[in-house]
Structure 1
């Protein structure tokens, strides 16, 4: 350790202190395994006349978190020794795979990970090896994407991310849709991730059929941003469901045609529409805006509200406790904001499966990091806790008890059987 302090010995990399410690521990462990396999210690007279014995060692290099390590693996004459500490065919020590998966979930590409491992740990892994490690996660993703779901979700949020995916010889923009369901306890769950590859109505019909096959018998309200074909697919699968256009998305879409100089004025003029107490009052407010100077100046803004009117007014039929929850898809947009930071430097994805794999890993990684921070704050007074709450998965909707009561009054025939 004094040599390390003086700079004479590196901690990691070839010849470093930690790789030598790892080498010593692993080789002692392998020798202990061989002793257990043969039934006697090296040089023990009990081994005389034994049908099997030690037969020297073979050299093997494995990649570890602290660099490549050259091991002397013991052999037996019968060739029956199967080490468990460093299994045959294994070229990586436990822990390195987890590091690679974590780096991948953080947004690094396979080649970025390859350079990072070589630069920081002195470990050289091929592009193919790292790809195999990340591809192995697909089994977990597939199991997660096909897991059974609850019979009813009172509220489901849907939002999308734009991702670049290679399609043949071209790179195309696709939408990765994320569905978040709120269960009867008010807890949010990411239900699935789908990359839209076909036409809207056909695509959403497939998504709804998948959710139905996974056990979802009913959805009360679906809050989304006016995705084409979604309403029709929802109504075909769950005829009694209400499709609600996200009010924040609607306002953004209407403001797209307004220059910066008039944005504050138009925003103030639109507020009476979505804060109206009843659908009739909201319609009156829209007519007044359409006939105003601003409405005549920006007819596309008026048209945006008129086109979305059928999917906007259900929002006004609910009490404030429910309105606060279905007003916007912000609960899922906060997740998308974090995911965009991860995918922005990746360029494009090689396939739709690669998109789903990374987003799933990123969601899991985000929640794990937040959980570790909360664990550090455990035991501190509430005023001294700085750890963030759950982002989406496992988070509880604020004011859910009051909202559930209002939903039970609004949908008595659909909720009573689940609440009793």
Structure 2
């Protein structure tokens, strides 16, 4: 039965949606040459001279090459990675490291971002592998790979969450709580997250803080506001908030001179909620 369907499809010149993608296969075959060319050009720029070129500004020399594997959106690609030695200021020779293809990198940032987006969206590791199998082809993707990515994201978020805000000038500050679906172990729950968005003098908005909490209590908001102040953020001229009394008290205690304004969007939503749908 399946054999008859295959013959019929091939005879009619049709292609099933999940069949072979000839364009992707051709691009995947050319990807090896593209990556190798990019790596050699970056190395030549770091050395300051081409192959066998005599130059007074030479900063190093070639040191062979090695085979590497990198997973891109076209799947796993095996390419030739050049090696080089650079002259340091102290006169020692150091190994050249590519900035575009970092050492020990096995996947592109684009692939890691796709993995994290699917995982944090509530899809477990096994289903992530199934969902990305057409794109990643035979690329290795284990549970430990996802775990290592999660650790990297946590480290990045922790560094962002504790960064200094002393250089930020935000005359206007938006404070609000949102509910997002968050993975907690093997469960997906909807949890409140406190958010702080500042507005710079030129009108540019910048995300300052995100804090997960059990609810929008006075203690929770006071912890967020005190954290902003402790990281060097000066008291804003105006804080735009909703009608949460705990947030208003937290602002009054930490930044008593900051003016407060009720968010018009929240106010309009409250009015519409009490207005009749039909007149």
Q: Quote the residue 2:106 is aligned against.
A: 92
Of residues 120, 129, 132, the one that matches 2:135 is 120
**Structure 2 equivalent of residue 367 of structure 1:** none
Equivalent-residue separation in structure 1 for 2:168 and 2:81 (angstroms): 54
Change (3 A) 1:66 1:188: closer
**2-side partners of 1:216 and 1:23: how far apart?**
44
Q: Give the alignment's Cα RMSD to 1 decimal.
A: 4.5
Matches within 5 A, 1:33-44: none
SS at match of 2:181: strand
- Residue number among 17, 29, 47 corresponding to 2:29 in the alignment: 17
Moved more, 163-172 or 229-238: 163-172
Q: What do residues 83-126 of structure 1 show as CA deviations (whole Å, max 9, x unaligned)?
A: 957888x3615xx2333225645876575653454202414322
Q: 1:162 to 1:59 in 2, by over 3 A?
A: same
SS of aligned partner of 2:233? coil
Whether the 8 Å CA contact 1:13–1:122 is kept in 2: the answer is no
Query: Given that residues 63 and 92 in structure 1 are in contact (C-alpha distance below 8 angstroms), is that contact kept between their aligned partners in structure 2?
Result: yes
Cα distance change of structure 1 residues 219 and 126 upon mapping to structure 2, 3 Å threshold: same
Query: Shift of the alpha carbon at 1:171?
Result: 5.1
Unaligned runs of 5+ in 2: 1-19, 44-51, 53-63, 83-94
CA deviation map 1:344-397 (0-9, x unaligned): xxxxxxxxxxxxxxxxxxxxxxxxxxxxxxxxxxxxxxxxxxxxxxxxxxxxxx
- Residue in 1 aligned with 2:200? 183
Q: Shift of the alpha carbon at 1:73? A: 9.2
Partner residue of 2:228 out of 205, 208, 211: 211
1:153, 1:182 within 8 Å by CA — same for their partners in 2?
Answer: yes
Question: What's the secondary structure of 1:153's corresponding residue?
Answer: coil
Task: Determine if contact 1:13/1:19 at 8 Å carries over to the other structure.
Answer: no
Contact 1:157 1:180 in 2 (8 A): yes
Secondary structure at the counterpart of residue 197 of structure 1: coil
Secondary structure of the corresponding residue to residue 270 of structure 2: helix
Q: Compared with structure 1, are the counterparts of its residues 133 and 177 closer, same or farther at alpha carbon in structure 2 (3 Å cutoff)?
A: same
Deviation at 1:161, TM superposition (A): 2.3
User: Does the 8 Å CA contact 1:150/1:183 hold for their aligned counterparts?
Assistant: no
Cα separation, partners in 2 of 1:126 and 1:25, compared to 1, 3 Å: farther
Mapped to 2, the partners of 1:214 and 1:131 lie a distance apart of 30
Q: In structure 2, which of residues 146, 149, 166 is the aligned counterpart of residue 133 of structure 1?
A: 149
List runs of 5+ in structure 1 lacking aligned partners.
1-7, 33-40, 42-53, 75-81, 263-420
**What secondary structure sits across from 2:221 in the alignment?**
helix
Between Structure 1 and Structure 2, which shows a larger proportion of helix residues?
1
The higher relative CO (CA closer than 8 Å, separation ≥ 6) is in 1
